[in-house]
Amino acid sequence: MDVFGFAKNLHEQTGVYRQILELSKSQTAAIAQGNEAELLRILAEKQTRIGLIDELSAACMPLRNEWETVRSTVSTSEHDMVDSAFQELRMVLGEIVEIENLSRAQLESEKEKNTARMNQIQQGKVAHKAYGFKTPPPQSTRRNVDG
C-alpha cells in the first residue's frame, strides 16, 4: 500500500467511525427511552461496522506500523495528508468515547434503579414473612353486588 492508499484507507476508517458515532448517539437515545429492541439492533449494527474497521485496519497495518519510519522518506505534502487523516480519525474517536461514556453512565443509572426496585420487592417479601404469611395475601374475590 502506498501513502495515498494509506491516507484513503484512514479516511474510509473515519467514515465508518462516523457511522459508529451516529449509532452511539442512537444507542444513548434508546437507553434513555428504555427501548431494548432498538438497543439490540444498534449494538448489532455497531458490531458490523467494527468488523469493517477491522478489515480496513488490517489492510493498512504494515504501513501503519512503519509510519514513523516511512514518514521521513515521503514528501511534506504526503505526510501532511496522512497526518491530517490521523487527526480527523482521532477527533471522531474522541467523540465516540464521549458518547460511549454517556451511554455507560445511563446504563449504570438504570442498573441502580432496577437494583433499588428489586430491593423494595425483596423487603416487601421479608416483611410479609415477618408477619407469618407463607404465601402472598389472598386477593379479594368478593364482588360489589350493590351496584
Closest CA to 6 of 115, 110, 86: 86
- Which residues neighbour 76 within 8 Å (Cβ) at sequence distance 6 or greater? none
Indicate whether 137 belongs to any domain: no
Find the domain containing 8 and state its range.
3-129
Indicate whether 48 belongs to any domain: yes
Rounded to an integer, the average pLDDT of 118-140 is: 64
- The secondary structure of 122-134 as a DSSP string is HHHHHHHHHTT-S
Total tally of structural domains belonging to the chain? 1
Q: What would the grid cell of residue 48 be?
A: 458490523
Indicate whether 33 belongs to any domain: yes
pLDDT digits (tens, 9 = 90+) for 5-54: 999 999 999 999 999 999 999 999 998 888 889 999 999 999 999 999 99
Position 147 pLDDT exceeds 60 = no
Q: Could you tell me the sign of the dihedral formed by the alpha carbons of 95, 101, 105, 106, in that order?
A: positive
Categorize the per-residue pLDDT at 133 as very low, low, confident or very high, splitting at 50, 70 and 90: low
Indicate whether 134 belongs to any domain: no
User: d(Cα 127, Cα 132) in Å, to the nearest integer?
Assistant: 9
pLDDT value of residue 20: 96
Indicate whether 55 belongs to any domain: yes
Q: What would the grid cell of residue 117 be?
A: 426496585
Indicate whether 74 belongs to any domain: yes
Indicate whether 138 belongs to any domain: no
Q: What would the grid cell of residue 135 be?
A: 404465601
Q: What would the grid cell of residue 93 be?
A: 474517536
Position 2 pLDDT exceeds 90 = no
Position 137 pLDDT exceeds 60 = no
Indicate whether 77 belongs to any domain: yes
pLDDT value of residue 120: 72
Tell me which DSSP letter residue 74 carries.
Answer: S
pLDDT value of residue 48: 96
Counting Cα atoms < 13 Å in the Cβ hemisphere of 71 gives 14
Rounded to an integer, the average pLDDT of 120-142 is: 62
What CATH number is given to the structural domain containing 59? 1.20.58
pLDDT digits (tens, 9 = 90+) for 62-108: 888 888 888 888 899 998 999 999 999 999 999 999 999 988 888 88
